[in-house]
Amino acid sequence: MSQSIFDLPASVLMASGGDERITLDENNGLNGYGCAPYPSFTISYSSSTSNTISAAAYAHVESFLYSLRQQCVSAKVGQVFRDRFEVVRQALRQVYGCSEQDRIFFGASGTDLELIVLALALNGPERRAHNIILGMDEVGSGIQHASMGRYISSGTPLGHTCQVGTSIEGFPEDRITMSGVAIRDANGRVRSMDALATDLDAEVSQAIECGRRPIVHVVHRSKTGMVVPDWDLLRNAMVKWEGRADVVVDACQGRISPLMLRSYLALGCSVLYTGSKFIGGPPFSGALFVPEQLANRFKHPDAVPQGLFGIFSPAEWPQDLVPASSGHDEALNLGLLLRWEAAIYELRRVTAIDEDRLRFTIRCFQEEVMTMVERSPWLGMVSELEGDGSIAEECREHPFERDMIMTMTIGGTGADGLDLEDGKFIYRSMFSDLELADGVQDPIANTHIQLGQPVKCRKLDDGRWQATLRVSLGAPTISEVAFASDEAIRARFVSDMGRIHRKLELVLEQIRLNRGVNITAQL
């Protein structure tokens, strides 16, 4: 890494070392999610998709970058990076109470880290793997390629050019298969846990009969906040499978309590996690927690596919698992390190808050979102039912297990109903400046509002997917307001929901004028 790269500002560096989704648009300075790696005033409830970094975290990252530059003048850059990633690793252990024996890998995204999960399965006794993806639409968009050991974008986080969908060195496709199990029915309704259990068990049994190692992907907080399958079902299944299947938990929303994360590890599951989303770091800061007995598969000679080190720098791995052929100091991801510094800063802030205060703040948020939806003529609430067994009983009262992703439908369900493409237009319009017709003036038109991207969870009467948006509470907002008075916390959420609703109203008015559709009359 050249000295000139170190001289770039943190905002530029934090938009590097990922893929095109975090590349900044030259016109507006935002990434593909409408967020920025530098602080700016926004009304931000987009943490189920991405975040704009807080002013406090950005100041911390700039301070850290200054210190890093000084260290790299007098020490080997590769060693400095290995030491700093180890500091991040220990910070995660401290917050979540993980054992030193459980390993933590870092990577640009959870989808990239899926490749490590696959490589570990290929080193199981079967030497063949079958990925079983629960809820394909509820996880990262690149999972279909990653689950087959293929490149997910046209460039790797380390800057190597590649072709989407081509095989990565060390992942023989004749030894890898993949299938999916749907969480929702054809109309977007969540299927019963019994139906999911039946399908999962059939997929696992078939893979075992075919001599392949099943990799079961489960979800702890989906894009709409679900935990699937529930905890009791998973525990019983693990006993039935008797160690013949690997299980990876997608907790990439970051909405998981420390005890719940440890419970998954104790059950023998790997856990995918991210420092963005709920935690509030910039997007593309992934981590993978792996139980010791599973991680030890990488200790065999030639166990690690060489192609992984065009995607991950060795500094991001537990050092005793890095093969000698990886090239220790040749590849470094400064952007990833800076994003994780921001994430750890936010994680420490939010976990320092008293749990009762966290619960109160989250409850105020929930109440005001519900009030906004109930009073609106063109908003509806998507309710995803959860059984009591969705998470371990001892974790249910933890604030991080509360519902902080509120999914709304927009417009009616008839032939003039707004569909998914309309939802994408509304999503982009909310963080853009609006040009209002007939000289109308409204200050909210130029207020940037970030919400979670639309998701496929309800259908219109004619079969199209209905427009949705997600209002998602993140750790930076909680940390910002939690120490205010009760009245000030409520007032903040009342104000924010009021402005969200008003800008939605302006966007829908533009759609009405363009189409001649009366949005407010549809419900």
Q: What are 95-104's pLDDT values in tens digits? A: 999 999 999 9
Provide the pLDDT for residue 518.
Answer: 43
**Residue 510 belongs to a domain with what CATH number?**
3.90.1150
User: In angstroms, rounded to a whole number, what is the distance separating the alpha carbons of residues 127 and 87?
Assistant: 34
Q: Long-range pairs for 18-22 at CB < 8 Å and ≥24 separation?
A: 18/108, 18/109, 18/157, 18/283, 18/284, 18/335, 18/336, 19/108, 19/109, 19/152, 19/153, 19/154, 19/155, 19/156, 19/157, 19/284, 20/153, 20/154, 20/155, 21/283, 21/284, 22/282, 22/283, 22/284
DSSP character at residue 467? P
User: In angstroms, rounded to a whole number, what is the distance separating the alpha carbons of residues 321 and 104?
Assistant: 11
CB 131 within 8 A of CB 216: no
The stretch 356-367 carries a mean pLDDT of 97
Would residue 222 count as lying in a domain?
no
**Exposed/middle/buried for 340, CB within 10 Å: 0-12, 13-18, 19+?**
buried
Q: Residue 359: which domain range?
A: 354-521
User: In angstroms, rounded to a whole number, what is the distance separating the alpha carbons of residues 331 and 209?
Assistant: 41
Residue 521: pLDDT band with limits 50, 70, 90 = very low
Provide the pLDDT for residue 404.
Answer: 94
Beta-carbon contacts of residue 72 (< 8 Å; ≥ 6 apart): 6, 80
Would residue 392 count as lying in a domain?
yes
Provide the pLDDT for residue 522.
Answer: 34
User: In angstroms, rounded to a whole number, what is the distance separating the alpha carbons of residues 128 and 143?
Assistant: 18
DSSP character at residue 270? E
Cα–chain-centroid distance for residue 435?
32
46: pLDDT strictly greater than 90: yes
User: In angstroms, rounded to a whole number, what is the distance separating the alpha carbons of residues 468 and 334?
Assistant: 36
Provide the pLDDT for residue 3.
Answer: 47
Give residue-wise pLDDT tens across range 257-274: 999 999 999 999 999 999
Would residue 218 count as lying in a domain?
no
Read off the pTM. Answer: 0.92
> What's the mean pLDDT when you consider all of the chain?
89
Q: How many CA atoms lie within 13 A of 233 on its CB side?
A: 21
Residue 248: pLDDT band with limits 50, 70, 90 = very high
Strand-pair partners of 471: 406
Give residue-wise pLDDT tens across range 123-144: 999 999 999 998 877 766 688 8
Total domain count, the chain: 1
Residue 388: pLDDT band with limits 50, 70, 90 = very low
